[in-house]
Structure 1
Amino acid sequence: MTALKKEKQEEKSELLAEVNRRKFSGLVVSAKSDKTIVVEVKTVKVHPKYKKRFTVSSKYKVHDEKNEHQEGETVTFVECRPLSKDKRWRVVKA
């Protein structure tokens, strides 16, 4: 196989992998760790019986390679391979 074919196959596999990954947006609540930020994602849910709407929040540890995001920013992040015990997400854009 030539180098050009291998390169094209790698690009295709990367694109296909991106399609199947979960994607969230949230607010950075902590940026104290090196190359890691904690992002809080708020979701509105509806109670099945009473139909009342309520907010549920989840916190995710997200990989920030360049330490460029600060507390209070809104970021978008996607699923990736496990990077540590708790980190399975990486920043896509701010």
Structure 2
Amino acid sequence: MPKRILQGTVVSDKGDKTVVVLVERRVKHPLYGKIIKLSKKYHAHDEKNEIRQGETVRIEECTPISKTKSWKVLDRVAKADPADVPTEA
């Protein structure tokens, strides 16, 4: 069975070798037919700690690494815009 590959935006990179990726998908409501956005957060393994918050990445399903991590970062699709990344105040 092939591994699933998803694309999303990194919302947190605070964990050691872990990033939280928000994946959004568009689905049609079964009764009303309206297109709605559903989102889900995945914890992904980032071996070199090189992915930063706000970047767009592709993640791949893998064997469980920890209790919550069963995805790994494949590659960076887009760099983060400085305007999108929140600053600490």
What range describes the TM-score normalised by the shorter chain of this pair? 0.7 to 0.9
1:77 aligns with 2:37: no
- Structure 1 gap ranges (5+): 1-18
> Which residue is equivalent to 1:59?
41
* Percent of residue pairs bearing the same amino acid type: 49
- Structure 2 gap ranges (5+): 77-89
The within-5 A match list for 1:1-94 is 20-94=2-76
**Amino acid of the structure 2 residue aligned with 1:82:** P
- Report the alpha carbon displacement of residue 49 of structure 1 after superposing the two structures with TM: 1.3
Moved beyond 2 Å, runs of 4+: none
- Please state whether the residue corresponding to 1:27 is helix, strand or coil: strand
Give RMSD over aligned pairs: 0.9
TM-score, structure 1 normalization: 0.79
> Which has the larger strand fraction?
2
- Please state whether the residue corresponding to 2:32 is helix, strand or coil: coil
TM-score, structure 2 normalization: 0.83
Residue by residue, what CA displacement relative to the aligned partner does 1:42-61 show, whole Å, maximum 9, x if unpaired?
Answer: 00011111101110000000
- Report the alpha carbon displacement of residue 38 of structure 1 after superposing the two structures with TM: 0.1
Give the whole-Å Cα distance in 1 for the aligned partners of 2:64 and 2:12.
20
Larger Rg: 1
Aligned length: 76
**Amino acid of the structure 2 residue aligned with 1:77:** I
